[in-house]
C-alpha cells in the first residue's frame, strides 16, 4: 500500500507535468489587468440619484466596512492606475455615509460628491464600453432532510476528494490561476462532471447529502443562484450557500435550448425555461447535463453571503469579477429595471440609478463588461433575476486623498 507521502509526490509530479506540458492552454485564462478595468472620469459626471431607501444603503455600507475592518493595514485597493490603502477605503465609505445622511437635496448631494470624491468608470465591453447587467436571487424551494417518494434528488456538500490547486505556487506566471481536480490512483484528473454526479451517481453512499429536493431543475436553479432557502414539510426552513464547484466551465442551458429550438431567443427567461422543462420532461436531463459545472453547498445560519464573507443586501449588493475590481467598493449604476404588475408579470421597464457595494462574484461574471445584481428572495426578486439582462453604466467612487 502506498504511503500518504508517496501519494502527494505523485500529485506534485502530475501538477508539474500539467504546468510545463501541452496542457497549459487548457488552464490559461484572461489576463488580469486591474489597471485597465477602471478609468478616472474627469468630465461629464452622471447626476447622482438613488431609487431605494437610505436604510438599505447604510446596511450594505456597514457590511462592507465589516469586511474592510478585518483586513491588515498593508492591504491596497486598485482603482484603475490609482491605489489606495485599506484605511483610506474605510474612511471613504464613512465619509460617503455622512454625506448621504445629511443631504436629502439632490443638488447638494451631487455638489459634495464632486468636491470630495474621485469617480471611475468601468471599461465595459470592447466597442460599446457598456456593462451587461444581469440579476440573481435567493430561491425558496421545497425539500426534506431525508429522502422519500417526493424528495428524491440530493443536494451535496463538498466532497473530501475535491482538490483546489493553486498553480501560482509552482510557476509565478500562473499567479491567480487554479484548477479543481481529484486523484485517481497515481493520476491527477478533472473532478466529476454534472452528468457523472447526477446520472452516474458517483457520490452516492458517501454521506454527503445536505437535503433532498423534488426536482433536479430546482437543484440547477440553486446552483446558478449560489444560495437558497429550503422549505421543509413541517414548515421550517434551512438556508444553504455556495461551498465549492467541480471546476468545469459553466455552459448556459438557456443558450443550449435556443440552439436546439426549444425556446425562441426573445422568449428566454428562467420562467420560460422552467415552464418548457415541466411540459417536456423527456429532454430535462439532456438540457441540465449540457452544463458540466456542478456546485456544492453548505448549511448557513444566516445570509446569503458574498465573496467578502458578509451577508448580501437585496438590491444593494453587486457581483463583479474580483480579479479586476476592488472588493467591498462603493459603486454607482445606471440601467433599467422591470415593472411588476398586479398579476406578477412584467408590464414594462424603467430607467433607474442606484448606489451599490461590490460584495460578491460569480462563475460567469468575468471581465469588465459583466455585473450581477442580488435582488433578494421575494416574488419581485425572482421576476427581476429571471428577466433582467440590460446594458448600462458602472462607476466606482472613492474619496480624494485630501478630503
pLDDT in tens, 3-28: 444 544 445 444 444 444 444 444 44
pLDDT for 21 equals 45
> Cβ neighbours of residue 88 under 8 Å, at least 6 residues apart?
398, 399, 401
Q: Report d(CA 210, CA 299) in Å as an integer.
A: 8
User: Mean pLDDT, to the nearest integer, of 146-151?
Assistant: 96
- Three-class SS state of 122: strand
pTM, to two decimals: 0.80
User: Mean pLDDT, to the nearest integer, of 160-180?
Assistant: 90
pLDDT for 29 equals 43
pLDDT band at 2 (very low <50, low <70, confident <90, very high): very low
Q: Read off the DSSP letter of residue 305.
A: B
pLDDT for 303 equals 85
Looking at domain 37-137+307-399, its CATH class is: mainly beta
227-246 confidence digits (pLDDT tens)? 999 999 999 999 999 999 99
Q: Report d(CA 190, CA 194) in Å as an integer.
A: 12
Q: Report d(CA 146, CA 128) in Å as an integer.
A: 50
Domain spans in the chain, listed from the N-terminal domain onward: 4-30+139-251+291-300, 37-137+307-399
pLDDT for 32 equals 56
Strands 317-319 and 330-340: unpaired
pLDDT for 55 equals 96
263-275 confidence digits (pLDDT tens)? 999 888 888 999 9
Q: DSSP labels for 178-210? A: EEEEEEETTEEEEPPPHHHHHTS-TTTTSS-EE
Q: Read off the DSSP letter of residue 322.
A: T
Q: Are the C-beta atoms of 124 and 368 separated by less than 8 Å?
A: yes
Q: Are the C-beta atoms of 151 and 143 separated by less than 8 Å?
A: yes
Q: Are the C-beta atoms of 276 and 262 separated by less than 8 Å?
A: yes
Closest CA to 358 of 114, 59, 61, 38: 61
b/e 307-321 (16+ beta carbons within 10 angstroms → b): bbebbbbbbbbbbbb
> Cβ neighbours of residue 299 under 8 Å, at least 6 residues apart?
210, 238, 239, 240
Q: Read off the DSSP letter of residue 66.
A: H
- CATH number for region 4-30+139-251+291-300: 2.40.240.50
Amino acid at each position: 500500500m502506498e504511503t500518504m507521502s508517496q501519494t502527494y509526490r505523485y500529485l506534485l509530479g502530475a501538477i508539474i507535468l500539467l504546468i510545463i506540458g501541452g496542457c497549459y492552454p487548457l488552464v490559461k485564462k484572461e489576463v488580469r489587468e486591474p489597471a485597465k478595468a477602471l478609468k478616472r472620469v474627469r468630465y461629464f459626471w452622471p447626476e447622482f440619484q438613488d431609487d431605494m431607501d437610505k436604510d438599505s444603503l447604510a446596511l450594505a455600507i456597514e457590511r462592507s466596512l465589516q469586511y474592510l475592518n478585518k483586513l491588515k493595514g498593508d492591504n491596497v485597493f486598485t482603482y484603475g492606475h490609482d491605489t489606495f490603502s485599506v484605511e483610506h477605503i474605510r474612511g471613504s465609505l464613512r465619509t460617503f455615509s455622512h454625506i448621504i445622511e445629511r443631504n436629502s437635496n439632490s443638488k447638494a448631494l451631487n455638489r459634495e460628491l464632486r468636491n470630495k470624491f474621485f469617480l471611475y468608470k468601468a471599461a465595459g465591453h470592447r466597442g460599446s464600453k457598456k456593462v451587461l447587467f444581469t440579476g440573481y436571487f435567493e430561491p425558496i424551494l421545497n425539500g426534506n432532510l431525508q429522502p422519500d417518494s417526493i424528495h428524491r434528488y440530493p443536494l451535496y456538500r463538498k466532497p473530501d476528494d475535491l482538490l483546489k490547486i493553486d498553480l501560482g505556487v509552482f510557476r509565478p506566471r500562473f499567479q491567480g490561476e487554479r484548477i479543481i481536480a481529484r486523484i485517481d490512483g497515481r493520476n491527477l484528473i478533472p473532478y466529476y462532471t454534472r452528468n457523472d454526479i447526477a446520472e452516474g451517481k458517483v457520490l452516492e453512499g458517501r454521506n454527503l447529502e445536505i437535503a433532498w429536493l423534488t426536482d433536479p431543475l430546482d437543484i440547477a436553479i440553486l446552483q446558478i443562484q449560489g444560495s437558497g432557502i429550503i422549505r421543509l414539510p413541517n414548515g421550517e426552513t434551512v438556508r444553504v450557500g455556495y461551498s465549492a464547484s467541480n471546476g468545469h466551465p459553466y455552459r448556459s442551458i438557456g443558450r443550449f435550448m435556443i440552439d436546439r429550438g426549444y425556446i425562441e431567443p426573445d422568449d428566454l427567461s428562467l420562467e420560460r425555461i422552467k415552464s418548457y422543462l415541466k411540459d417536456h420532461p423527456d429532454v430535462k436531463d439532456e438540457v441540465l447535463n449540457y452544463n458540466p459545472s456542478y456546485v456544492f453547498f453548505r448549511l448557513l445560519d444566516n445570509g446569503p453571503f458574498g465573496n467578502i464573507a458578509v451577508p448580501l443586501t437585496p438590491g444593494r449588493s453587486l457581483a463583479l469579477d474580483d480579479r479586476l475590481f476592488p472588493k467591498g467598493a462603493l459603486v454607482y449604476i445606471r440601467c433599467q429595471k422591470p415593472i411588476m404588475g398586479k398579476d406578477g408579470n412584467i408590464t414594462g421597464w424603467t430607467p433607474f440609478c442606484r448606489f451599490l457595494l461590490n460584495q460578491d462574484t460569480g462563475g460567469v461574471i468575468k471581465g469588465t463588461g459583466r455585473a450581477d445584481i442580488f435582488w433578494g428572495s421575494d416574488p419581485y426578486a425572482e421576476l427581476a433575476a429571471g428577466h433582467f439582462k440590460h446594458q448600462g453604466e458602472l462607476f466606482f467612487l472613492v474619496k480624494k486623498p485630501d478630503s
